[in-house]
Structure 1
Amino acid sequence: MTISKRSFCLVAAAGALLLAAPLSPSSAQTLKDITFVQPSPSSINSFPIYVAISEGFFKEEGLNVRVESVNGSGPVIQALASGQAQFGRPGPGPVLNARARGVDVVFLYNMMVKSSFGIVVKDGDSFKSVPDLKGKVIGVGTADGAEVSFARGILSSLGMQENRDFTFLTVGDGGMAAAAFTRDDISAYAASTADAAILTYRGLKLRDITPVEFLTYFGNGFAVMQSTIDKDPKLVESFGRAVVRGQEFAADPKNRDRVLADLKAGMPQENEDRDFANALFEQVLAKTIPLDASKGWGYQDPAHWDRWHKSLVETGSLKQPIPDLPKAYTNAFVETWNK
């Protein structure tokens, strides 16, 4: 079976858009119905939610969670602001842009604590850090993709200049990237999470050498409206506690078979090929492991928010700095969730 990043996305998009936790007649009267909205139809990218549903963690918190999928973080925030959903999984950039427009959305839980992009090398190669790639060829999927800007930023920060200290080579994704590695056309690859999963699925053992300071450009996490926090903090506590249990359960290797079954129950078509689903899940899971485990699941480092904020202003994504940046996120529930 040939899988490319494009075909994977098409398969995922064909998945079911709704998922409701199974309820017994006796429990249906006691559970509180809530809606969680995600930016794409993927059980793997929202794995703590789907695991918490299937393993009964939400039910134990008195919650019946329905999942709805939309197209992108913008519609996620719109669903929250309109009251159509209580919780969602947007990215940090859209959250800050929404707040700049006066939308009081709050990032509640940092799920994808590491960047969705990275510079990877073959596990057996001698490259230990990015400076070791001086004079080498770095593969990219497209000439102008987001991964190119990400990799160029890393290399530039280390004083490495394109076409002098390194060369980008457009090799495509999936099988073409795997072939480029196998032929030694490239020494490294600027990869997204899906890219890395496809290469792993094709038998390449990879090692991420992205500098830690760039990994902290975190990705999507769980968000809520400030009004929900104010009116029903117990709901926020219950939701986050179940999410933490789902994430901890999924991170334990001995639970892998059950986790993959939970994900397939949520999105059967995305998980048709078990080996590929497992490869993608491993890549996503790796991005969710906290940089500092002592802080607990969901913790948000203010310095990482400052870095995101500064980057968005410098690139023009935000027209001007947000005066109340600390109000864009909260760690108020992290300790309670992780008890």
Structure 2
Amino acid sequence: MSRVRSWVVLFIALAMVVAACGDSTQETEETTATTEAGATETTEAAATETTGGTVERTEVTVLAPNPSAVIWFQLCSAIYQGFLEEEGIDASFEAVDGSGAVLQAMAAGQAEFGIPGPGPVLSARAAGEDPVAVYNGFAQALFGLVVLEESDYQVPADLAGTDAPTVIGVGTAEGSEVTFVRPILVDAGLEEGVDFEFLPVGDGGPATAGFERGEIEAYAAAVPDMAIIEARGLDLREITPSEYKTVFGNGYATTQSLIDSNPDLVQGFVNGLVKGALFAEENPDATEEDCAQMNPEEATDPELARALMDLTMVISRSLNGDPWGMYDPQAWEDWGQSLVDDGTLEEVPDTSAAFTNEYVEQAHETVGG
């Protein structure tokens, strides 16, 4: 269990933070953070008094698939350090249950920005929706395929069922963990519905119960979920093939229709994220305080919240040295091909339309870093 073992001390510390904010997946959790109290409507003009007069701002909603604040550290500082306000944006943060719910709300016009995974973005586009990723929130892999260490499973191919499909737990049926793990299993020669099947069981806490009750044999885990399961007394073995550990994760997205109608708003939002990331890099203590304002419950143990933020900042950085928020076009093509290989999509989508680096490049040119 290479990755889990190497991070085990830190993950035990992270476990209670994530358990407090992410174990309940049966109901939508919401945390609203605004640059000015009372701003909860979306895409409407707001005004604030400054020494130079009245500045009009646009209210937007940002939807996340997880209520944690520290894992979206750049947004915390973008809001509470006033970087988005400098761009004329008043942002509210809300959490829903998974990437599918994020994209559904965006498609329905209920949010201007969201933080979905790349697999769900490509699937949504194939279904006729128009999400476009504009900032890479996690440049490294967020997920892994884990089994109990006491089990006989050593590699993904071992999960092939005999008399019935092997049950693999996932957080939600439409979450990014599903689109991450399915290609691993298909590449191993397994067929969904014959050799394996997915069972939504929730995050780390409920997944622990799923293992204990024998309901699942493996679990598609986010990195913090691994910590929760081990912290609750179960030893895990990660069987994720090495080539999958550099697959990027969730990022900030908007819709093509908003890009077409208001590109300045999109540029301003990305400017705020880049400013927030650069600020966090130099001022992690202040960013931790920003995140505490966004999610006070998560900050009840500041040592644990800080540990999670520090880990998040590590896996948010590109392994090849790209600046904050940049996407690798080849990585998107790999995601598209994997969705075809595992049967999620019938043909490789036009991945070039699913993301853009334009706004991140302009932001770095404008703000530096």
1:231-275 CA-to-partner distances (Å, cap 9, x unmatched) read 2111111110110111112123xx222111111111011221111
Partner of residue 121 from structure 2, selected from 65, 72, 95: 95
1:305 aligns with 2:335: no
- Paired with 2:301 and 2:231, the residues of 1 have a C-alpha distance of 10
* Alignment-derived partner of residue 281 in structure 1: 309
1:34 aligns with 2:48: no
TM-aligned CA distance change 1:292 to 1:261, over 3 Å: same
- Paired residue secondary structure (2:138): coil
- Paired with 2:184 and 2:104, the residues of 1 have a C-alpha distance of 32
1:225 aligns with 2:248: no
Shift of 1:195: 4.4
Shift of 1:292: 2.7
* Alignment-derived partner of residue 278 in structure 2: 248
1:234 aligns with 2:247: no
* Alignment-derived partner of residue 127 in structure 1: none
Gaps of 5+ in 1: 121-136, 158-172, 178-189, 203-207
Partner of residue 114 from structure 1, selected from 140, 143, 158: 140
Q: Does the CA-based 8 Å contact 2:75-2:273 persist in structure 1? A: yes
Shift of 1:201: 9.6
Q: Percent identity?
A: 37
Partner of residue 9 from structure 1, selected from 22, 26, 38: 22
- Paired residue secondary structure (1:108): strand
- Paired with 2:327 and 2:303, the residues of 1 have a C-alpha distance of 32
- Paired with 2:221 and 2:110, the residues of 1 have a C-alpha distance of 35
1:290-315 CA-to-partner distances (Å, cap 9, x unmatched) read 2233x422211111011111111111
Partner of residue 272 from structure 1, selected from 277, 287, 300: 300
Q: Does the CA-based 8 Å contact 1:116-1:219 persist in structure 2? A: yes
How much is the aligned-residue C-alpha RMSD, in angstroms? 3.8
TM-aligned CA distance change 1:291 to 1:84, over 3 Å: same
Q: Does the CA-based 8 Å contact 2:64-2:95 persist in structure 1? A: yes
Shift of 1:197: 5.9
TM-score by length of 1: 0.71
Partner of residue 34 from structure 2, selected from 20, 36, 40: 20
Q: Does the CA-based 8 Å contact 1:197-1:283 persist in structure 2? A: no
- Paired residue secondary structure (1:290): coil
TM-aligned CA distance change 1:337 to 1:315, over 3 Å: same
Q: Does the CA-based 8 Å contact 1:110-1:298 persist in structure 2? A: yes
* Alignment-derived partner of residue 71 in structure 1: 97
Q: Does the CA-based 8 Å contact 1:4-1:198 persist in structure 2? A: no
Q: Does the CA-based 8 Å contact 2:28-2:96 persist in structure 1? A: no
Counterparts of residues 138-217 of structure 1 (less than 5 Å): 144-145=168-169, 153=184, 192-195=222-225, 213-217=243-247
1:85 aligns with 2:111: yes
- Paired with 2:93 and 2:125, the residues of 1 have a C-alpha distance of 24
- Paired with 2:114 and 2:275, the residues of 1 have a C-alpha distance of 18
- Paired with 1:3 and 1:296, the residues of 2 have a C-alpha distance of 31
- Paired with 2:102 and 2:227, the residues of 1 have a C-alpha distance of 26
1:320 aligns with 2:347: yes
TM-aligned CA distance change 1:73 to 1:109, over 3 Å: same
- Count of residue pairs brought into register by the alignment: 285
- Paired residue secondary structure (1:106): strand
Q: Does the CA-based 8 Å contact 1:197-1:280 persist in structure 2? A: no
- Paired with 2:307 and 2:228, the residues of 1 have a C-alpha distance of 7
- Paired with 2:100 and 2:274, the residues of 1 have a C-alpha distance of 25
Q: Does the CA-based 8 Å contact 1:109-1:222 persist in structure 2? A: yes
TM-score by length of 2: 0.65
Gaps of 5+ in 2: 1-12, 38-46, 147-153, 156-166, 171-176, 189-203, 209-219, 233-237
1:124-143 CA-to-partner distances (Å, cap 9, x unmatched) read xxxxxxxxxxxxx89xxxx8
1:51-81 CA-to-partner distances (Å, cap 9, x unmatched) read 1111111111111111122111112112222
Shift of 1:319: 3.3
1:131-182 CA-to-partner distances (Å, cap 9, x unmatched) read xxxxxx89xxxx84569996x959x99xxxxxxxxxxxxxxx79xx9xxxxx
